[in-house]
């Protein structure tokens, strides 16, 4: 696809999403950057709703790395046992908390490199913290964004790494932080995984008016 065509699509998408979602509150409940980091870590292969339901009972009491160190891994397991992969995640939360206290005076580091070096923290988690926590321009790509970017004809990337690169080329940096949440919200409400298939929702129809066949997303 030509650059001009992708840029035209980008303007249409931004216009529609700004109308639908002028405000973009974080979908994960948190009280500070540390709890944001923990919530994003816990959300891997789990819904935001489930994470929020669990952390609503945790964060009023435990919201600093020191708190989780005192709890210990076994008690953390009990607190998050309703979340998928809870044993592995509790181990990461405990180890991560120790590193933050020992190396960063209990504060969340402000660089991608330092965040991605923490246990259980990958590039997507680091990107969310940099974007939503510190306001640094980032474009976290999850399965929703990967799916929609393919359906809208903005990428043919086989993984989230390539999709992120492609989207950063198309959309101006000033829109990244808000846009990644807008796309997630739109994917959940209008362009669902087992519903639109690139044919039904408004943006899919506008971006690809002549499309006849369903788009099968290449898995991230």
Residue 9 near residue 35 (C-beta atoms within 8 A): no
How far is Cα 140 from Cα 123, in angstroms, rounded to an integer? Answer: 8
Active site residue 124: yes
The SS3 call for residue 170 is helix
Q: CB under 8 Å to 97, separation ≥6 — which residues?
A: 65, 66, 67, 68, 69
How far is Cα 148 from Cα 165, in angstroms, rounded to an integer? Answer: 15
Q: Residue length, the chain?
A: 220
Q: Which of 103, 142, 165, 202 is catalytic?
A: 142
Q: Which of 124, 174, 212, 219 is catalytic?
A: 124
How far is Cα 115 from Cα 111, in angstroms, rounded to an integer? Answer: 6
- Residues catalogued as catalytic: 124, 142
């Amino acid at each position: 696809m030509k650059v001009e065509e992708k840029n035209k699509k980008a303007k249409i998408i931004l216009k529609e999403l700004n109308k639908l979602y002028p405000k973009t509150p974080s979908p994960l409940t948190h009280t500070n950057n540390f709890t944001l980091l923990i919530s994003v870590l816990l959300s891997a292969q789990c819904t935001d709703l489930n994470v929020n339901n669990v952390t609503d009972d945790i964060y009023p009491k435990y919201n600093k790395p020191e708190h989780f160190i005192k709890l210990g891994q076994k008690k953390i397991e009990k607190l998050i046992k309703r979340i998928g992969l809870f044993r592995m995640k509790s181990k990461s939360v405990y180890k991560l908390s120790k590193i933050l206290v020992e190396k960063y005076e209990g504060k969340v580091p402000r660089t991608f490199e330092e965040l991605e070096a923490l246990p259980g923290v990958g590039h997507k988690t680091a990107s969310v913290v940099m974007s939503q926590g510190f306001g640094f321009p980032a474009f976290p790509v999850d399965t929703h964004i990967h799916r929609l970017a393919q359906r809208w004809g903005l990428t043919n990337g086989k993984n989230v790494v390539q999709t992120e690169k492609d989207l950063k080329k198309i959309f101006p940096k000033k829109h990244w932080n808000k846009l990644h949440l807008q796309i997630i919200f739109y994917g959940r409400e209008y362009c669902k995984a087992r519903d639109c298939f690139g044919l039904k929702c408004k943006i899919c129809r506008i971006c690809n008016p002549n499309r006849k066949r369903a788009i099968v997303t290449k898995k991230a």
